Amino acid sequence: MSATTSEEDPWPVRTVARKIAEWVDRLGAVWVEGQLAQVNARSGTAFLTLRDPAADISLQLTAPSSLVRDAGGAVTEGSRVIVHGKPSFYLGRGTLSLRVDRIRAVGLGELLARIERLRRLLAAEGLFDPALKRRPPLLPHTIGLVTGRDSAAEHDVVRNATSRWPAVRFRIENVAVQGGLAVEQVVGALRALDRDPDVEVIVLARGGGSVEDLLPFSDETLCRAVAACRTPVVSAIGHEPDTPLVDHVADVRCSTPTEAGRSLVPDLAEETARISGLRDRARRALHGWVDREQHRLDDLRRRPVLADPLRMVTFREGEIADARAAAHRAVLRRLDRSSSELEHLGARLAALGPTATLARGYAIVQLADRTDDDVPPLLRSVADAPAGTGLRIRVADGAVAATVTTTTDPET
C-alpha cells in the first residue's frame, strides 16, 4: 500500500480493498478478551459480536458453529470470553472480522481477581470515600428506578415503597441488567434520570444471580457513571452476600431491592404516630407551662400586698393614729407638767414677793409728786420724807388706799 496515487490516477475500490485484505492477512493471530453481546450460530458459520466492557467498542467474530456448540454454556450472550483468532478483511462488504479458532470462558477466579484489581484502582482514586456519600431526601418528590422490565426487583421496590407511603411517585427506566448491553443501557438510564429535575434519588435494582450475571454492576464504566451523578444513587443489587463494585461507589447500599423500597420513603403510619406523639408532648408541655405560670400567678395573688392592697395603708393609718394620740398625750402631759411647775413657781414667787407681805397688813409707801404721775422712789420710813410731802399708800391688790401729807411733826 505504499504505491502512490493521484487525483488523475486513482485506485479503484477493488484495488484498495484487496490491498487492505493483503495487509490484514499479514497480521498474526491474537488473543482477545471481551464480553459476548450477540451470538448467532444458526448456519455452518457462527457470527458473534465481542464487546469491550469498559468502552463502547465492539468487534465482529466468525467461527465454525461446531466451535460454539462445543463450548457449551460458555458461549452465550453476556459471557466473558477469551478468543484466539486472526484478523480477516471481507472484500465483498469491506468489513473487518476476527476468524476465531479457539474460545475459552474467563474463569471465575480470574474474574474475581480482575474485579479486585479494579476495586483497588477505584478506591485509590477516592470513588469509595465516605465523605463523598450524599444522604437521600427524607421524602423525595420522584424516585428514579433503573431495573429490568417486569422484574421481581421492580415489583419489590415499588410495592414496599408504596405500602409505606402511598403517594410516592416513580420514574422507571427498564433496561437490560445482564449481558453485553447491560452496561450501556444502565449508564444511559442513569444519565437520563440524573438530568430530570424532579428525580431526587435514583435506585439501581436487580435480583440475585451468579458472579457472571452481576458483572455489569462491577464494570468500570458504570461505576464511574454512578460516581459522576449529581443525584444520590441507591444500589440494591443482588442479595446480602453479593457486593458488586457499584455498591461501594453508590451513596447508599441496600442488601436487597426490598430493603431499598423500605428505605426510600418513611412509613406513613409511623410518621403519623410520631406526629401524634409530638403533638401530645407539645400539648402536655404547654399545659404544664400554663399550669406552672397559673400557680405562680395564684401565689402572687395570695401575697398580702396583692390580696389586700389597702391592708398596709390601713395598718400604717392605725400606726399614725396611735402615734398622733401618743404625741397628743405627751404634749398634754408636758403642758400639765409645765402648768404645775408654773403654778409651783408662781406660788413660790407669791410667797417670797412683797405682795404676800402686803397681804399680811404691811404697805409700800412711795413718795408721790403731785405734778408727776410717775411713781416716785420708795421710802424706807416716813421720817425720810420731807415735810409737807404727800404719801400714796398701795395695798396688796395695787389700789391706792389713801393719800397722806406729811408734816414736820414726828408724831404725826
Among the residue ranges 25-34, 244-253, 270-279, the one predicted with the least confidence is: 25-34
Per-residue pLDDT tens for 311-350?
777 778 888 889 999 999 999 999 999 999 998 988 888 7
Mean pLDDT of 281-296: 94
Top pLDDT among 66 and 109 is at 66
Q: Is 406 exposed, middle or buried (0-12, 13-18, 19+ CB in 10 A)?
A: buried
Predicted confidence at residue 412, as pLDDT, reads: 42
Predicted confidence at residue 411, as pLDDT, reads: 47
Do the Cβ atoms of 185 and 216 come closer than 8 Å? no
pLDDT at 172 over 50: yes
Q: Give helix 220-228 / helix 182-195 axis angle, nearest 10°.
A: 0
Predicted confidence at residue 348, as pLDDT, reads: 84
Which residues have C-beta within 8 Å of that of residue 57, sequence separation ≥ 6? 51
Predicted confidence at residue 175, as pLDDT, reads: 92
Q: Please tell me the number of Cα atoms within 13 Å of 92 on its side-chain side.
A: 0
pLDDT at 402 over 50: no
Which residues have C-beta within 8 Å of that of residue 178, sequence separation ≥ 6? 78, 206, 209, 213, 214, 215, 216
pLDDT band, residue 51 (cuts 50/70/90): confident
Question: For the chain, first and last CA: distance in Å?
Answer: 204
What's the length of the chain?
412
Which residues have C-beta within 8 Å of that of residue 132, sequence separation ≥ 6? 126, 227
How many Å apart are CA 143 and CA 200, to the nearest integer? 6
How many Å apart are CA 119 and CA 127, to the nearest integer? 10
Mean pLDDT of 175-202: 90
Mean pLDDT of 201-223: 86
Predicted confidence at residue 328, as pLDDT, reads: 92
pLDDT band, residue 8 (cuts 50/70/90): confident
Predicted confidence at residue 367, as pLDDT, reads: 55
Predicted confidence at residue 17, as pLDDT, reads: 83
